[in-house]
């Protein structure tokens, strides 16, 4: 029985997985009740998140994050 990371399952639910991964998950779903339960839990969570009234961050916050990311990207990796 193949285990899938939650990140991969989220990509599957958002239809962002490759054909190979999609087929592997769908095959596993037909046999693995724990995986079916996990997928159903993630689907419920997605629905709950969609119902929240979330606002985008301020433009200044986004600019600060992007500035920080650019500054840290310039640091040489050891």
Element (H, E) at 64: helix 59-73
Q: Looking at the domain assignment, is residue 36 inside a domain?
A: yes
Q: Say what the pLDDT of residue 1 is.
A: 66
- pLDDT of 55-78, one tens digit each? 889 999 999 999 999 888 665 655
The whole-number pLDDT of residue 68 equals 92
Is residue 40 one of the residues assigned to a domain?
yes
**Would you state the pLDDT for residue 78?**
57
78 found inside a domain: no
**Range of the structural domain that residue 58 is part of:** 6-73
pLDDT in tens, 12-43: 999 999 999 999 999 999 999 999 999 999 99
Looking at the domain assignment, is residue 1 inside a domain?
Answer: no
Q: What is the pLDDT of residue 54?
A: 84
> CA distances (Å), 64 to each of 18, 39, 61, in order?
34, 35, 5
């Amino acid at each position: 029985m193949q285990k899938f990371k939650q990140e991969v399952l989220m990509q599957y639910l958002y239809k962002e997985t490759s054909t190979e991964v999609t087929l592997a998950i769908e095959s596993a779903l037909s046999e693995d009740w724990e995986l079916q339960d996990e997928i159903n839990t993630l689907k419920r969570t997605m629905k709950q998140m969609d119902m929240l009234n979330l606002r985008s961050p301020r433009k200044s916050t986004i600019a600060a994050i992007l500035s920080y990311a650019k500054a840290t990207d310039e640091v040489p990796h050891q």
